[in-house]
Amino acid sequence: MKEIIWVFLTIYLLAMNTDSFSQGKLPYNDLSKAESQVIENKGTEAPFTGRFLDNKEKGTYLCKRCGAALYHSSDKFDSSCGWPSFDDEIKGAINRFPDADGRRTEILCSSCGAHLGHVFTGEMFTAKNIRHCVNSISLDFVPEILDPGRYGTAIFAGGCFWGVEYHLQKARGVVSVTSGYTGGHVRNPSYQEVCTGNTGHAEAVKVIYDAGQTSYEDLLKLFMEIHDPTQKGGQGPDIGDQYRSEIFYLNDQQKKIAANIISLLKARNYRVVTAVTKASDFFEAEDYHQDYYFNNGKIPYCHTYTKRF
């Protein structure tokens, strides 16, 4: 009975995340017909044909549909089965369900429900004795060493970083979102120190994005739609300087774009209080803050999408 309750609870939480996503109108990545056949219709690509079967680069494998991080390259191994194999997953990234055939266990992205493949145990390929058999077509890959000509960086602060991270992770072209602290005067602050409001830091996120799929301007517009840029000294119920609204620009071009976006909003009668500040040191937050809502099966309590552009 406990197992049945757990399955229904998982389905409910997954539905909540998907419904919230669609209501917020933040699009999944567009899928080709072949990708949709596997990811949405639970098909299987032909063995030994996937682009990541023999990939030995260091990096992170992402969900093709929503961009959530699923597997580290260090957990990939050669099983000679015809599909990419992994003996571990990123914590909280994968959901398991009994397959319709009654024999196998299906694995899905815990963020968006995309079909990935199946998981097997007892084969003794590795010491962990588990094999995630994943369709290449369900995956994207981000190399450990990024091409600076292809990828860009943005840093935003808009209240609790959990919610900002959650919404930006779903945006097309976003490679990774890291929660952290910036804008203060203490090096390597802890969460407890930042919460005192005495370090000067804001809870912020660092976004790495593929410039071929999105732009700094697009991400900045989205940022201004997933938090309230008119609220001073906090965001929603979270009050304090660490929850302020602020754009940390990395170059003059980003500074100019930020000023233009704020001017557009002010012309539409929004009383924007968002500060625009030159970026300084960014300190990554503790591990338990990263991918918070994805790992905990919840949705943000203080960040919702409001169309402003």
Q: Cα 241 from chain centroid? A: 25
CA 234 to CA 301: how far, in whole Å? 14
Q: Quick check: 203 and 240 in contact, CB under 8 A?
A: no
Q: What's phi and psi for 163, nearest 5 deg?
A: -70, -40
Q: Which of 63, 112, 160, 302 is catalytic?
A: 160
Q: Which of 63, 66, 112, 133 is catalytic?
A: 133
Query: 197: which residues sit within 8 A by CB, 6+ positions away?
Result: 240, 241, 242
**Hey, what are 23's tokens?**
């209501």
On the 0-12 / 13-18 / 19+ scale of CB atoms within 10 A, 266 is exposed
Q: Quick check: 158 and 272 in contact, CB under 8 A?
A: no
On the 0-12 / 13-18 / 19+ scale of CB atoms within 10 A, 43 is middle
Q: Quick check: 164 and 242 in contact, CB under 8 A?
A: no
Q: Quick check: 141 and 59 in contact, CB under 8 A?
A: yes
The reply to whether 160 belongs to the active site is yes
Please give the positions annotated as active site.
Answer: 133, 160
